[in-house]
């Protein structure tokens, strides 16, 4: 049985409790005012470690899902580098597995900015059938390639 913590409230996400919990997992959370967000990206990239920024737009018909279901998603996976996302529109559930058997679910809203450390198992799911848009930041052009349970890299890496 998995322990599940579900935190859907935007107010909670911006609380000290949420900040401490996410920080204890190595996850950085910030709230960005979205007005003029595009103007801040060059400064963020100049500070490092991120070098690439791109937007991802998801819609009910817009992306192929690995499990074949119309509302499936990538299974739990990790990356060898940091992953950062700024929610621009819509809602997304971030699911993080800090240790086997424990699953933390946090709903992200526009303006929420999260940075996941390398090697943390996670997945993102659409909350409803509404389109969403997010900004992704990466250190290398291909650093967001997901690694899955059972893959050769998974067995030799994390």
**Which residue intervals of the chain are DSSP H helices?**
10-13, 16-24, 37-47, 152-156
* Domains within the chain, CATH numbers bracketed: 3-156 (2.60.120.10)
Inform me whether the pLDDT recorded for 88 exceeds 90: yes
pLDDT at 69 over 80: no
pLDDT category at 74 given cuts 50, 70, 90 is low
Convert the pLDDT of each residue in 94-131 to its tens digit.
888 887 888 888 888 899 999 999 888 988 877 777 77
pLDDT value of residue 18: 74
Q: What is the pTM of this model?
A: 0.77
Cβ within 8 Å of residue 131, ≥6 positions away: 57, 58, 59, 60, 62, 89, 90
């Amino acid at each position: 049985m998995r322990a599940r913590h579900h935190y859907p409230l935007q107010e909670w996400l911006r609380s000290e409790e949420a900040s401490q919990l996410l920080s204890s997992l190595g996850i950085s959370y910030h709230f960005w005012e979205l007005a003029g967000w595009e103007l801040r990206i060059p400064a963020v990239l100049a500070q490092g470690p991120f070098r690439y920024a791109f937007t991802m737009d998801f819609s009910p018909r817009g992306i192929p899902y690995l499990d074949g279901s119309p509302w499936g998603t990538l299974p739990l996976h990790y990356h060898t580098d940091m992953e950062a996302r700024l929610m621009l529109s819509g809602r997304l559930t971030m699911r993080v597995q800090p240790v086997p058997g424990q699953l933390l679910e946090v709903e992200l809203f526009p303006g929420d900015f999260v940075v996941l450390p390398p090697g943390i198992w996670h997945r993102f799911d659409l909350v409803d059938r509404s389109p969403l848009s997010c900004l992704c930041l990466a250190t290398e052009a291909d650093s967001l390639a997901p690694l899955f349970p059972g893959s050769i890299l998974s067995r030799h890496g994390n």
